[in-house]
Amino acid sequence: MSTITLPAEDNTTDDPRRRAPLTMGGQTLTSITETVARIAERPRPPRAWYVAFAVSSTLTAALILAAIYLIAVGVGVWGNNVPVAWAFDIVNFVFWVGIGHAGTLISAILFLFRQRWRTSVNRFAEAMTIFAVICAGIFPAIHIGRVWFVYWLAPYVNQMAVWPNFRSPLLWDVFAVGTYATVSLLFWYLGMIPDLATLRDRATSRVRRIAYGIFALGWRGSGRQWHRYERAYMLLAGLATPLVLSVHSVVSFDFAVSVVPGWHTTIFPPYFVAGAIFSGFAMVVTLMVPARAFFGLKDLVTLRHLENMNKVILATGCMVGYAYSIEFFIAWYGGNPYEQFAFINRAFGPYTWAYWIMVTCNVVAPQAFWFKKVRTTPWMMVIVCILVNIGMWFERFVIVVTSLSRDYLPSAWEYYRPTAVDITMLLGSFGLFFTLFLLFCRYLPMVAMAEVKAVLPHHHAAGDWQTPAPAEPHANGESHQGIRYPDQVSEGH
Amino acid sequence: MADSGRQTERAEKAVRHWRSLAELADAPEYRAFLEAEFPREADPGGISRRRWLQLMGASLTLASVGGGCRWEQEEILPMVRRPAHRVPGEPQRFATAMDLRGAALGLLVTSVDGRPIKIEGNPDHPQSRGATDALAQASILQLYDPDRSGKLVQGTAEGESVQTWDKFVEFASGHFGPLRKDGGRAFRVLAETTSSPTLAAMRSRLLEAFPEAKWYEYEPLSRDNERAGTKLAFGKVYRPHYHLDRAKVIVAIDEDLFCDHPAGVQYARAFADGRTVVNGQMNRLYAIECCYTPTGAAADHRLPLRAQDIAVFVAALEREITGGSGSAHGKDGESDVGRFVVALAKDLKARRGETVVAVGPRQPAEVHAAAHRINAALGNIGNGVVYFPEPDADRMPHRQAIAALASEMNAGKVETLLVLGGNPVYNAPADLDFAAALGKVRTTVHLGLYRDETALLADWHLPQAHFLESWGDARSWDGTYSIVQPLIAPLLGGKPAIELLALVLGDEKSSGMELVRATFQRIAGAQNAQTPWRETVHDGLLQGSGWSPEKPAIQGAAPQADRAASLSELVWKQGPLEIVFCGDSSVYDGRFANNAWLQETPDPITKLTWDNAAWISPATAAALGVENETMVRLKLDGRELVMPAYILPGQAAGSVAVGLGYGRSAAGFVGGDARRNIQSIGFDTYRLRPLQAQEFATGLAIEPTGEKYRLATTQDHHAIDTVGLKARAARVGALVRSASLEHYQEHPEFARHAVHHPPLISLFDEPEYPGRRWGMSIDVSKCIGCNACVVACQAENNVPVVGKERVLEGREMHWIRIDRYFVGEPDRAQVDHQVMICQHCENAPCEQVCPVAATVHSSEGLNDMVYNRCVGTRYCSNNCPYKVRRFNFFNYHKNLDRPGGALTKMVYNPDVTVRSRGVMEKCTYCVQRIQEVKIRAKNQRREIRDGEIKTACQQACPSQAIVFGDLSDKSSRVARDHAADRSYGVLAELNTKPRTAYLAKIRNPNPELEDAHHVDDHPAG
């Protein structure tokens, strides 16, 4: 067999004899720290950051103003009506919860499955999860008629001696999303502690030193600390893994448990989870591609990472497409005329445009990822991923709005039209998401430095594709060890 | 500024009667007393700038300290001397009557702490028997309308000035006294038609005092053709009255017997009683009409015909009946209409003496005469059709009256015009130009409930008292004499017409009660000298005062001319159209234009709110290139009007119907007021209505303008696509289950087999109800879709009005929805009505999904809504398969803070919570009424009797389609209904276990017409 020569800048080709490197450009421990920490330490971010921040914070302000208007005047400022009592509010909620799924999946499940390529993107994806859940949490909170009593959904001891109704999926939602937000936040923060310590140690100003110092929780990088850290990380990963499946399953129960034709289907939990991962990965890719270009992270977040994520998108996209078709099959096979109508109405009724946008974006568009060229060309994958995100928003719109607009009694049928406030709040939620994301890029380590260091080629056993880089002294008390994978422990070195 | 000031003043006046009548009269002594007692009260405007700043400063400080968090403080003081029989908070009921369409409906009005809050029918009254119609239900809101006139306004050359009654009395004595000199030669009175004997007496007195004066009566919607028809047929004016309970076959020819007849409530009841299958028999109703009416919807056979063609139809029917079988020859007999005539005639002849043929007021006198001849030929006179002597037989027809008055005014023969109610400037025939004619009258005095279009042009406008605040009397369609007693002192200082006439006549004693009492003495004296006044006031009617029917004989034979017309030519193909002017189901002739409840009540057929439209049949619209909601230009005799088109299945082809009473420019805050820049609701079709064609006219041209207009319908808000139409057609049969009488007799339990489903298993333990189990049944066979229940529910349960924009958004708040489904081919569509309210499911989907347990089941099986607990997730609404839950998207009671709100909020039922923003609400089965009876029964230590609790909808229902009661009592009516063979639950296959059962609709089609129609087999249009 002749020797295959592989271009040094391409790590997307699979050579069965060698493991493809997870970083490029001959990374050393120092270079990784430099690359990542420099972004957060730069006195001024690039001009593009300011432009983006101006736009996104304006949108955030619009969201806040719209929310104040909503609370002051009433839910009627939206287009919701009877029968379509839920519309953009719940569509946005489910959309953002779905976006949040990529982070936990990458950090927890891929961690447990020992997918080391996750290290370059997990921080980023987890941050996205947190921000997406924040965006998601806003909507159910403000969508209720009397926002000032939102705490009644919580089971707290009160003088009214009333307890929430545990039969209601909406209550399950409160718990599911609440748990998810908490665990995700902990997981993200815990994973960031060693990197925050690095930033603290490298800080040149007093303010930064104190700020990062507080959040670094006195991390010193001692062996004992690493030991505890890794245990905690693993436990949280174990905790977060079922949540990836449970959160969106519970969100889907909001629909599946109801009697509304088009909602009441058993396929919803797996279908929602697949859709969530689908949309979450699409969002990670959409943001990662420009971020790695702007912040010089191309060597850490390589094309191979992106390609892997695109493969996940392709796989989950096919699952979603399968779910769409099986819904139709079951509606026909089940013989329930109301359910049959719900699906025919989706595809050919007044919201037919929304349905076909959904199908085109979610089923057709990701098929482009069968082509390696598309999987490995940043601008192409961004286009596909943006389409997927549009499609996934429409999927929720189709589920929520079309089912409600025409349920059992034809006399109650109604067409829903969003108002300007609806649209402002949708755009505003993107504004909030990007604002938080831009702040994250500006002030926090975007890549998990400690973790990436653990997957550098020279940390691998022999047989790796690139020659190990010479060891070098570590500055600033930074750990050279990085996070260990379960299998690494036995491997030793 | 001036307007708002006036409103505040009006609002202040509104609350005045609570203190004392002296204050209401604004007596100078009282002013002096007030000044001494409450110096600030007397002079609210007298705050100095310094004092103002002090107050502002202090209130700001208080607000910041926390004063802003406090509820407004209000002192409630008990009465020192409690009036007899008044227990605070305990409702009292008083009998009275409402005079509309020239006949009275006996009412029983509920009053709480001195303010009337709810209108019910008087169970003792033969026309009402406890039921009402939508207009009567809504008239309580009119009483509390802050836009009602509360001021005497004198219009002079210098402008308007607000006057007092004293000033007017001064003016009247100076003005009307001298008029007597020449016998009132230039004095004219224009009145509305009323059935009030007192007013008739006052009229004779006035004409005695002013022998040269003339008294005209005008009603834009009149039954004069009916009178002329009897004159033509019998040589004397009679009033036909129908005993539908005695009729096996009823033919309504262009006549809405149930919703647009002075005795509609009675007729609906009698008709509905006959819908029950007894010994395999039930009545059969044929409707031949141009516009779709509730009567047409209730009919077993409905034939849409242009109003102008109905004369030909009736002539053919008469020939067929009087000329023996086979009279409709050749081609005529082959046509659809021809077959209809033959079959109908055969049916009528087979039921000789047990039928009723009724013709509507829109048809000319000849058609009425033909119908009388048919009734005579069929032996109906004295059975199903009776004739009363018309009390006011010599009255000039309305159309002639208004024309005569206008020409006199134009000729300068009228110097003083007294307008008693009515609004001729708005509703007089368009070609008379009444407003211009009014300009030639030296002195116009207008008495009206509102400062309307006519009032604005009058020299004097006087506020009229609402019937709930004035003494009066009235006769119902069959002559039963009722006394109208006031429920409250005039809120805005108005006077009824009889008192004004007394004032014009210069009577010393002008109290309405005395005037009425004098009339009563006369009538009761003739009747029965023993009947005391108090008893009659209490009962609301004088028993046995109805007229006794006469048996007039037909004079002359049918004219020959009609025979020329052919039935087969009655199908409109192309060419000139016909325009039909209809009274509106909501605003009647425009007088209810400022009544928000009625404006928001969906039309029984079109489901249109807040607008009128030109109804066009689908075929006609297609031929003209008109789409639904396009603005069309209607041209008739050189007059034009642009208004939206509504494509109405079942409208006669070639006929365009327009509702009257919209487009008011001086109705008020709700209906439109040009002075306050409040846009009119709907389009003023009176502008098209000529003197010679008050009912319908031919030669209408229509052209679409291309513009679109949004009509706020509560159903089918937007054009439904094919997918939706197919699904709807497939579903209607399972939702509104119906069968022909024949099918029902073969398969009495057909309704239970309409939907098959797997066994129903519940996820949760099902509670047991050892005690009472409240339930309801709705008889679809009886429901005529008249909306009385909708408005009754609104009045009883403080249901807010949301306005056109919100209806367009799909946020109407009615707890009762009357679903209307068209079945059959579009141009001959049949209508099915289905009352849809909360079904109080035992296994309620809404309860399961509410996260805060705000909707829960009571121990008696009510699906209770806990407003206090509701946070407004709206999940319950999503999960309600019936979509009967209503959400407060906004604060719909905000307008109570406006000036006038103090008056408006008096209409609220104190037993029902007024819901706040962000809260879900829905039908409660009138839980407050259940509790009231429960408490009463408990206090009296007895069981609740079946039928003792009546929900508001049930009580108002003229056709008695709704029954409420205890399902655990197997002998109760509702339990028997639930067990009946026709009983079914809508969507019961979802295992909701609804507590509301529907009784399937039984139609009684004529087998001979079935083939021609196929109504039941066709998909929906």
Q: Which of B727, B764, B806 sits opposite A341 (nearest CB)?
A: B727
Question: Residue B391 has what pLDDT?
Answer: 85
The token pair at B458 is 């009058």
* Partner-chain contact A258 B889, CB within 8 Å: no
> What percent of chain B has a predicted confidence (pLDDT) above 70?
89
The C-alpha angle with vertex A155 and arms to A269 and A178, in degrees rounded to 5, equals 45
Question: Residue B41 has what pLDDT?
Answer: 41
Question: Residue B560 has what pLDDT?
Answer: 61
Q: Which residue of chain A has the CA closest to B891?
A: A74
The token pair at B904 is 């408006």
**pLDDT tens, residue by residue, B581-622:** 998 999 998 899 999 999 999 999 999 999 999 999 888 888
* Partner-chain contact B919 A146, CB within 8 Å: yes
SS3 B278: strand
Question: Residue B51 has what pLDDT?
Answer: 64
CATH of B152-222+397-539, one of 1.10.286.10, 3.20.20.70, 3.40.50.740, 3.90.1150.10: 3.40.50.740
CB of A161 within 8 Å of a chain B CB? The answer is: no
Rg (C-alpha) for chain B, rounded Å, is: 29
**pLDDT tens, residue by residue, B69-81:** 566 777 777 778 8
Q: Which of A145, A350, A412 sits opposite B918 (nearest CB)?
A: A145
**B contacts of A409 (beta carbons < 8 Å):** 731, 735, 819, 836, 881-883, 986-987
DSSP assignment of B413-431: --SEEEEES--HHHHS-GG
Report how far apart, in Å, the C-alpha atoms of B341 and of each of B101, B325, B335, B348, B1008 are: 31, 11, 10, 10, 11
Asked if residue A470 has a cis previous peptide bond (ω within 30° of 0), the answer is no
Question: Residue B43 has what pLDDT?
Answer: 44
Question: Residue B312 has what pLDDT?
Answer: 86
3-state secondary structure B394-414: CCCCHHHHHHHHHHHHHCCCC
* Partner-chain contact B887 A171, CB within 8 Å: no
CA distance B862 to chain A (A): 18
Q: Which residue of chain B has the CA closest to A139?
A: B873
Give contacts of A 125-144 with B, CB under 8 A: 143-144
Distance from the Cα of residue B451 to its chain's centroid: 22
Q: Which residue of chain A has the CA closest to B820?
A: A411
CB of A462 within 8 Å of a chain B CB? The answer is: no
Q: Which of A163, A170, A413 sits opposite B873 (nearest CB)?
A: A170
Q: Which domains does chain A have, with CATH numbers?
A: 29-491 (1.20.1630.10)
Question: Residue A489 has what pLDDT?
Answer: 38
Q: What amino acid occupies position A478?
A: E
Question: Residue B235 has what pLDDT?
Answer: 87
Mean pLDDT (whole number) for B981-987: 91
* Partner-chain contact A74 B878, CB within 8 Å: no
Q: How far apart are CA A410 and CA B702, in angstroms?
A: 32
- Using the predicted structure, report yes or no on whether residue B245 has a pLDDT greater than 50: yes
Q: Which of B870, B881, B918 sits opposite A75 (nearest CB)?
A: B918
**B contacts of A152 (beta carbons < 8 Å):** 852, 869, 871
CB of B753 within 8 Å of a chain A CB? The answer is: no
Question: How many of the other CB atoms lie within 10 Å of CB of A138?
Answer: 21
The token pair at A261 is 């034709």
* DSSP state letter for B247: -
SS3 A419: coil
* Partner-chain contact B845 A258, CB within 8 Å: yes
> What percent of chain B has a predicted confidence (pLDDT) above 90?
34
**B819 φ, ψ (degrees, to nearest 5):** -70, 135
Q: Please check whether residue B252 is in contact with residue B259, taking contact to mean a CB–CB distance below 8 angstroms.
A: no
DSSP assignment of B222-235: --HHHHHHHHHHHS
Residues of chain A with pLDDT under 70: 1-11, 15-19, 25, 457-493
Question: Residue B37 has what pLDDT?
Answer: 53
* Partner-chain contact B888 A82, CB within 8 Å: no
Top-level class of domain B722-761+769-1011: alpha beta
CB of A154 within 8 Å of a chain B CB? The answer is: no
Q: How far apart are CA B94 and CA B133, in angstroms?
A: 18
- The candidate with the shortest Cα–Cα distance to A21, out of A375, A426, A468, is A468
Question: Residue A2 has what pLDDT?
Answer: 46
Q: Which of B870, B877, B891 sits opposite A85 (nearest CB)?
A: B877
Give contacts of B 757-776 with A, CB under 8 A: 764
List the domain boundaries for chain B.
2-66, 152-222+397-539, 240-389, 572-713, 722-761+769-1011
In angstroms, the first-to-last Cα distance of chain A is 32
ipTM of the complex: 0.87
Q: Please check whether residue B850 is in contact with residue B873, taking contact to mean a CB–CB distance below 8 angstroms.
A: yes
Q: Which helix (H) or strand (E) holds B287?
A: strand B284-289
Mean pLDDT (whole number) for B297-302: 91
Question: Residue B331 has what pLDDT?
Answer: 54
* Partner-chain contact A150 B871, CB within 8 Å: yes
Chains A, B: CB contacts within 8 A come to: 183
**pLDDT tens, residue by residue, A300-343:** 888 888 888 899 999 999 999 999 999 999 999 988 889 999 99
Q: Which of B879, B888, B917 sits opposite A260 (nearest CB)?
A: B879
Q: Does A369 or B52 have the greater pLDDT score?
A: A369
Distance from the Cα of residue A3 to its chain's centroid: 40
The token pair at B193 is 């038609």
**pLDDT tens, residue by residue, B94-133:** 999 999 888 899 999 999 888 899 999 999 988 888 899 9
Report how far apart, in Å, the C-alpha atoms of B171 and of each of B177, B420, B882, B994 are: 10, 17, 61, 66
Question: How many of the other CB atoms lie within 10 Å of CB of B759?
Answer: 5
Top-level class of domain B240-389: alpha beta
Question: Residue B1 has what pLDDT?
Answer: 41
CA distance A91 to chain B (A): 14
Question: Residue B47 has what pLDDT?
Answer: 54
**B contacts of A145 (beta carbons < 8 Å):** 870-874, 887-889, 917-920
Grade residue B1013 by pLDDT with cuts at 50, 70 and 90: very low
Q: Please check whether residue B986 is in contact with residue B839, taking contact to mean a CB–CB distance below 8 angstroms.
A: yes
Give contacts of A 255-274 with B, CB under 8 A: 257-260
Is CATH 1.10.10.10 the right assignment for the domain spanning B572-713?
Answer: no
DSSP assignment of A92-114: HHHHHHHHTHHHHIIIIIHHHTT
* Partner-chain contact B881 A75, CB within 8 Å: no
DSSP assignment of B752-793: GGSS--PPP--SSPPP--SS--EEEEEETTT----SHHHHHH
Question: How many of the other CB atoms lie within 10 Å of CB of A292?
Answer: 24
**pLDDT tens, residue by residue, B545-575:** 888 888 888 887 766 654 556 776 677 777 7
The answer to whether the B572-713 and B722-761+769-1011 domains have the same CATH topology is no
**A479 φ, ψ (degrees, to nearest 5):** -75, 140
Question: Residue A321 has what pLDDT?
Answer: 92
- The candidate with the shortest Cα–Cα distance to B594, out of B451, B788, B430, B429, is B451
Q: What is the pTM of this model?
A: 0.86
CB of A380 within 8 Å of a chain B CB? The answer is: no
- Where are the alpha helices (H) located in B115-241, listed in sequence order? 134-143, 165-179, 197-209, 224-234
CA distance B919 to chain A (A): 6
Q: How far apart are CA B626 and CA A384, in angstroms?
A: 45
Report how far apart, in Å, the C-alpha atoms of B184 and of each of B22, B169, B181, B408 are: 36, 18, 7, 14
* Partner-chain contact A83 B878, CB within 8 Å: yes
